[in-house]
Amino acid sequence: MDRILGGTMDVRLTARHCSIPDTLRRRTSERLEALRRYEPTLSGADVRFDLDHGSPLAEVRVKIRGQALQASAGGDTFQVALDSAIQRAERQLRRRRDRITDHKAAAAAVPPPPAALP
């Protein structure tokens, strides 16, 4: 429970067909922790770096209360690919949060039915 309410998020990094420097590992953890401002209940994230035919790819999978959001992107370097993938995940989290708050606001704004006249 402590982890969900503000502890550190579980971040799992995987490198396929490549190696990842420590600076990119730290940057990945920092950027993923920053996503908590959109969804404080983030429980974990899986990040996969892949060198696909010489093209760096990054795939980010974020776990939220039994759901998972996935974003992937490519770029000239792993850092560019990571930034693009995290921006996509951030956009998904922002949309998810907006839907939740809009739904609650719409339910509260519905006026009660008029009372029947005697």
| Residue ranges of domains in the chain | 10-95
Rounded to an integer, what distance in angstroms lies between the CA atom of residue 7 and that of residue 62?
A: 16
Distances (CA, A) of 100 to 6, 57, 94: 20, 31, 10
Superfamily of domain 10-95: Ribosome hibernation promotion factor-like (3.30.160.100)
Q: How many beta carbons lie within 10 A of that of residue 93, not counting itself?
A: 20
pTM of the model: 0.75
Specify burial of residue 86 (Cβ count, 10 A radius: 0-12, 13-18, 19+).
buried
What is the full per-residue pLDDT of the chain (118 aa) written as tens digits? 223 344 567 889 999 988 999 999 999 999 998 888 888 888 889 999 999 888 999 999 999 887 889 999 999 999 999 999 999 999 999 998 888 777 666 666 656 666 666 6
Tokens read off for 101 = 């708050």
